[in-house]
Structure 1
Amino acid sequence: MHPTLVFDIETIPDLAGFAAVNGIDEASLPQGELAE
């Protein structure tokens, strides 16, 4: 399981959409920065 639970419930769909639009694997995102 990816550590997506640190994100707000409203942020998760945004990240998924961002990753999908940019062709990025969500697991490769800088989760440390986004989690803040």
Structure 2
Amino acid sequence: MEEVAVSGTILSLKSRNKQQFFQVHYKLSFYKLARYR
């Protein structure tokens, strides 16, 4: 249950900077996909 609470807190913090968060998130995901191919 603690993990869920921490995740929720992190999400609420990041939602303030949602655009930046998603930009970083997608860049990281794309980078990981490119690496593992």
Please give the TM-score of this superposition, normalised by the length of structure 1. Answer: 0.36
Q: In terms of Rg, which structure is larger?
A: 2
- Pick 1 or 2: higher relative contact order, CA cutoff 8 A, min separation 6: 1
User: 1 or 2, which has the higher helix percentage?
Assistant: 2
